[in-house]
Amino acid sequence: MTNPFIKELMNGKENGSFLALDLGGTNFRVILIQITDGIFDKEEVEYYNIPKHLFTEEGTKLYDFIAISIEHFLTNRGANDRHYDLGFTFSFPMHLEAIDVAIHTSWTKSFSCPGVIGKNVRELLSSAIQRKTNLDISVTCVTNDCIATLVYGSYFDKRCAIGLIMGTGNNACYIENTSNIHKWKDTERSESAVVLEWGAFGDNGVLDFLRTKWDRIVDKKSVVKRTYTFEKCLAGKYLGCLVREALVTLAQEGLFCKGSTELLETHEHLKTSQISKIEAEAFRDELFYTKDVLSSYLELEDVTDDDARIAQYVCGLVSYRAALLLSLVTSMLLNRMDRPHCTIAVDGSLFVHHPRFKPLMELLIEQNAPGKSFSFLTTKDGSGKGAGLVAAIENRIRNS
């Protein structure tokens, strides 16, 4: 549970061009936004693929790569000759001590770069920009992706009170009465956003009753072992692995596909994006794509219609469990906040591309938070652009 130190939201007096960075999944984004009197004039987004070796090498190399990419982005647009305030969405566990003091506490998802844990994320990025570029950039804030999504969502709908990320990783933040938060000193305001880092829920064993043998196998093969229990049940990084491991067991028991299962047994070979497409096909009661994944992509032999239906059934079960778990914790927030209406700002590939997540969650939340009025607001790239908005708000506060 972290205090994101967001003092205010947009008030219509923000002006200027601001940079935002979004680091969290397999690629990262550089974003330039232009704001006039609190209104978005222009936004440009570019994705950069992070080379595989940088996920595990010394952390400063990752920061150097980020700095070089910002320079590439600005130089390409002929915009590298002026000063920018930059907001950094850093989607990993950190302890925030101020809006620009973010102590990185651990890696999650696919990252395990040594040498940066315990350090201030802002300092690491600022040093890399100085070391590797001639750019004039002030890193004015570090934020988590769910907070950035909430801030971005609030720009469109003032009733936003939850920011939810359903992508490679999973996390949420919500608005709490500060009188309920006893351990924070920063209690001048009546309400504050709280970052939950709920991916780590269950690390103390409270979710053991629902973990299957496939959850344990996925944990053993993950980069960050014996932690992030909840995230491993439902995030995009892990759903493909869970389905694959269950299918391996069925094949070993002679209940699914014949022949070599070498690719089926290859860790991370089946992607969550493929699970989303299989689910979409199951919805249409077709088998063509599913059979193609099994025979061409996983190179299984003599794939029958029954094999394809089994694969679709497993994808359905794993997806349903993920949607149910996420709906339960989201319902808990809605019940706790008890607002007349709560808009849930969401970003992340799983929510956007999986055909059943949104309808399932709408149904399951209705059952578990009866009578609570809520709606989802999908915010494309909100997890990045929101950091630009936070930088704009900080800039306005500083200059007022």
Which of 92, 214, 238, 376 lies at the binding interface for ligand BGC (CB under 6 A)?
A: 92
Judged by CB under 6 A, which stretch of 91-99, 256-264, 274-282, 289-297 contacts ligand BGC? 91-99
Joined together, the tokens standing for residue 354 give 């999986």
**Rg (alpha carbons) of the chain, rounded to whole number:** 22
- CB nearer to ligand BGC: give 111 or 256: 111
The single residue of 145, 215, 219, 347 carrying the catalytic annotation is 145
Contact 322, 233 (CB under 8 A): yes
Smallest distance from ligand BGC to CB 251, Å: 30
Sequence-distant contacts of 69-73: CB under 8 A, at least 24 apart: 69/28, 69/30, 70/19, 70/21, 70/30, 70/129, 70/133, 70/135, 70/137, 71/132, 71/133, 71/134, 71/135, 72/48, 73/30, 73/32, 73/46
C-alpha pair distances (Å), 122 with each of 23, 99, 165, 360: 13, 10, 22, 39
- What SS3 class is residue 303? coil
Q: Which of residues 365-394 bind ligand BGC (CB under 6 A)?
A: none
179 annotated active-site? no
b/e per residue 58-76 (b: at least 16 CB within 10 A) = ebbebbbbbbebbbebbee
- CB nearer to ligand BGC: give 34 or 349: 349
Rounded Cα–Cα distance for residues 247 and 254 (Å): 11
C-alpha pair distances (Å), 375 with each of 150, 162, 285, 333: 13, 10, 29, 14
Report DSSP state, residue 333: H
φ, ψ of residue 170 in degrees (nearest 5): -140, 135
Which of 4, 59, 163, 169 lies at the binding interface for ligand BGC (CB under 6 A)?
A: 169
Answer yes or no whether residue 154 interacts with ligand BGC by CB under 6 A: no
Which of 29, 104, 109, 244 lies at the binding interface for ligand BGC (CB under 6 A)?
A: 109
Which of 59, 163, 199, 236 lies at the binding interface for ligand BGC (CB under 6 A)?
A: 199
The single residue of 22, 64, 85, 91 carrying the catalytic annotation is 91
* Strands, sheet with 83-90, edge to edge from the N-terminal-most edge strand: 39-49, 27-36, 16-23, 83-90, 136-143
Joined together, the tokens standing for residue 127 give 């040093």
Smallest distance from ligand BGC to CB 289, Å: 28
C-alpha pair distances (Å), 159 with each of 4, 140, 241, 396: 19, 26, 36, 23
Which of 3, 69, 80, 108 lies at the binding interface for ligand BGC (CB under 6 A)?
A: 108
319 annotated active-site? no
Which of 171, 276, 319, 331 lies at the binding interface for ligand BGC (CB under 6 A)?
A: 171
Smallest distance from ligand BGC to CB 195, Å: 7
- CB nearer to ligand BGC: give 24 or 257: 24
Lay out the site mask for ligand BGC across 24-63 (x = CB under 6 A, - = otherwise).
x---------------------------------------
29 annotated active-site? yes
The single residue of 22, 29, 307, 347 carrying the catalytic annotation is 29
- CB nearer to ligand BGC: give 256 or 376: 376
Smallest distance from ligand BGC to CB 340, Å: 27
* Binding site residues, ligand BGC, CB under 6 A: 24, 91-93, 108-109, 144-146, 165, 167, 169-171, 197, 199, 231
Catalytic residues: 29, 91, 145
